[in-house]
Structure 1
Amino acid sequence: MAKISTTLLAATALIALAGCAKKRPAVLPPAPAEQATEVAPSGSAGDVDPNGGPGSDADFRRSVQSNTVNFGVDVYDIDSTARAILDSQVEWLARYPQVRITVEGHCDERGTREYNLALGDRRANAAKNYLVARGVAASRISTISYGKERPLALGSDEEAYAQNRRAVTVIIGR
């Protein structure tokens, strides 16, 4: 009887400890589409139009080479393709000096959550640092890392991985 009690007590303790072993993931900020767009008061110089007019995110996407810079595996260096994309963003941002942006860092699904959050942060900051070096005020740029939490392409192949290793520039308003 004592052996059964001891075995049951040990099994209960193991089950209780197993339930405590996993930490709940931190709550992620809302997706960019869920964020409110800030708009200058109507009639002021340099309005940012959320409906696609001059200075809007839609205008940005139409006017620049791309809002996305892609990276290689475990890389956050800005290559020549990324420089060309970011240079077109610099030109647009120079036309709208009141516009603020967020640079989002993303990773593919491989690696731990913590590793990918750190890598996504390095990617976002690499793009930010390039924009700042080209003349965009650092105070206009915020960065956030989503790690592997917000994939663009679903799938576990190299094509999907390549699309998910990116930094995305998003217009957030004035």
Structure 2
Amino acid sequence: MALPAPLNTALRAAAMLFFVVVVAACSRSSNDAVGLTGAGNLGPGGGAPGSQQEFIVTVGDRVFFETDSSSLTSEAMATLDKQAAWLNQYQNYRILIEGHADERGTREYNIALGARRASVVVNYLTSKGVNGGRITSQSFGKERPVAICNDISCWSQNRRAVTVVQ
């Protein structure tokens, strides 16, 4: 079945326009500063050096805790060591430490547990030279889960402290 001439012409024009846009989007001039990340002057992970994105991707913004615990694991301390080094390098940022808990337990218990977790992280970072005046903390208890299910796989993701670069 042949298309009417005006429709055929319109479809050809649309196809040509699409082709031109695709070719233009794919081409780059030799003056583009594209590094290994493919993102110009951006750092690892696509974030500008010293940005929250770079912090999350290269350092890690969260540490995890065991059930009913506010003690730092060796893995958590390794992450916090990297956070402290980054925060000492980029001293112009204030940070918020969020304390979280899984869904089990009362709201009051989980708010207190989240507060203890946040406090432990604050104390660790300040012991590594991060100025305590730059840090605030807040407990969300079980109110902001990142995973929702009635299983250890979800609970373990929710037992955390998150460092938010502001």
Pairwise same-fold verdict (TM > 0.5): yes
Match of 1:71 in 2: 65
Show the counterpart of 1:102.
Answer: 96
Shift of 1:52: 3.7
Determine helix, strand or coil for the equivalent of 1:94. helix
Could you report, residue by residue, the CA deviation over 1:137-158 in whole angstroms, capped at 9, with x for unpaired residues? 0001110000000001110101
1:54 paired with 2:49, answer: yes
Select 1:115's aligned residue among 109, 117, 120.
Answer: 109
Percent identity between the two aligned chains: 50
Report the 3-state secondary structure (helix = DSSP H, G, I; strand = E; otherwise coil) of the residue aligned with 2:91.
coil
Q: CA deviation at 1:94?
A: 1.2
Aligned to 1:142: 136
- In the alignment, the residues of structure 2 paired with residue 142 and residue 63 of structure 1 have an alpha-carbon distance, to the nearest angstrom, of 22
- Which protein has the bigger helix share? 2
Task: Classify the secondary structure of the residue corresponding to 2:68.
Answer: coil
Structure 1, unpaired ranges of 5+ = 1-50
**Alpha carbon RMSD of aligned pairs, Å?**
1.2
TM-score by length of 2: 0.71
Distance in 2, Cα, partners of 1:166 & 1:62: 17
- Tell me which amino acid in the other structure corresponds to 2:145: P
Q: Deviations over 1:61-104 (max 9, x none)?
A: 1221x211000111001121111000010111111011111010
SS at match of 2:137: strand
Aligned amino acid, residue 157 of structure 2:
Q
Given that residues 55 and 99 in structure 1 are in contact (C-alpha distance below 8 angstroms), is that contact kept between their aligned partners in structure 2? Answer: no
The C-alpha deviation readout for 1:113-149, integer Å capped at 9, x for no partner, is: 0110000000011011000001000001110000000
Which residue, 116, 120, 124 being the options, matches 2:118?
124
Match of 2:76 in 1: 82
Letter in 2 for 1:134: K
| Count of residues in correspondence between the two structures | 121
Flag structure 2 segments of 5+ consecutive residues without an equivalent.
1-45
